[in-house]
Amino acid sequence: MSNKPRSPGRHFLQIPGPTPIPDPVLRAIDQPVIDHRGPAFQKLSKRVLEKVKAPFKTKNPVIIFPSSGTGGWEAALVNTLSPGDKVLMFETGQFASLWNTMAKSLGLKPEFIESDWRIGADPAQIKERLKADKNHEIKAVCVVHNETASGTTSPLQEIRQVLDELKHPALYFVDAVSSLASIDLRHDEWGIDVTIAGSQKGLMLPAGLGFNAISQKALEASKKSGFAKSYWSWADMLANNANGFFPYTPATNLLYGLDVALDLLEQEGYDRVFARHRRHGEATRRAVVAWGLEVLCKDPKYYSPVVTSVLLPPGHDADAFRAIALENFDISLGTGLGRVAGKVFRIGHLADTNDLTILGALSGVEMSLELAGIPHKKGGVQAAINYLAEQAKNPSHKLAAAE
């Protein structure tokens, strides 16, 4: 037992994932383990495999791996491509960089469009590169929908339009690990071939489930893939899933939780979920601007509804600031990653949260800025309050987009 005094109330987990888990989901996970070869599991599995299509907005299969989102990355690549294939990626932040590193380690040949991490994937730059690919050597375009390291969101539909306009046959892969069930994503309508996700963000679960939503085009490509695979094999998964089972031991208790989490999302309504995230993102950015600090994402077109990365003034250590916030106000803020380590802190505003949660988190940040001696103006929390109160006056505010 720790000698540290207990902190009353709930800890403010304001990182961009893992996110706080709703009590009904926690209760669902806390059930006895059952036989994963028996009829009770088969019933659970079939129900979840059908229901999980809803957040992806797909009628096609969604494969669930006992893994993190990183496993979903690998599964997408090795099931559809072959060693030596060229893939096009865009440097939106740390996670795009890690996906690029994985592609290299697997023997693929990624072309990485570099950026300063302050914008999402730029359709114009992607178009320029694909237009030059006269022989269609690029076999896949890989985009991180929401980059939590930089607080940027990429315009997936515009990128799909680029592929269609050029009639380029490349597969379209989307990392939706931090955007699924938080930002509108339409797997079928937007012609995405593999959508990759994880359980610990918008789905409001612990880490441990990785997802691949797949198109018919991706499924056809998997029949020609030259990569050896076993654990990540779609063919094995799909064959077993058809009967309600898995080719190896599944994460049964997380499937219990997923079953309930999907119900909670349906009860709120996905349009309301997306509007809530937009509203909280806008409230957070208004607070940052009022403090006189700088949002890392420099173009409003790419603002993230799920996380805001905040630049501290030169000479101030963002990790030291985060430590002060945790010690004094029991709030966890996201650390800066990669090239922005020590320069930014991140405020997560996603998953199971509401207006008062966001205002409490912003209050903790404002008080921490004062304690840390970081130059700032007063009134960031009040700016957020004013915005949220104004939104609440509109009877349809829960569906209103943040302008």
- Map residue 25 onto helix, strand or coil: helix
What is the length of the chain? 403
Cα 288 to Cα 385: distance, rounded to the nearest angstrom: 13
Residue with tokens 């339009």: 161
- Map residue 107 onto helix, strand or coil: coil
Q: Is 346 annotated as a binding residue?
A: yes
Q: Where are the beta strands (DSSP E) in 221-312?
A: 294-295, 307-311
Q: Please give the C-alpha separations between residue 340 and each of 110, 284, 376, in angstroms, as whole numbers.
A: 23, 20, 20
Q: Please give the C-alpha separations between residue 371 and each of 11, 130, 252, 377, in angstroms, as whole numbers.
A: 19, 50, 45, 13
Exposure b/e, 96-130, CB count within 10 A at least 16 = b? bbbbbeebeebebebebbebebbbbbbbebbbeeb
Q: Dihedral (C-alpha) 334, 336, 71, 261: value to the nearest 10 degrees?
A: 20
How many CA within 13 A on the CB side of residue 190? 21
Amino acid at 390: E
Q: Which of these, 354, 365, 355, 346, lies nearest to 385 by C-alpha position?
A: 355
Which residues contact residue 305 at a Cβ distance below 8 angstroms, ignoring those fewer than 6 apart?
146, 153, 182, 183, 274, 277, 278, 280, 281, 349, 350, 402
Residue numbers belonging to the annotated binding site for substrate: 346
Residue numbers belonging to the annotated binding site: 346
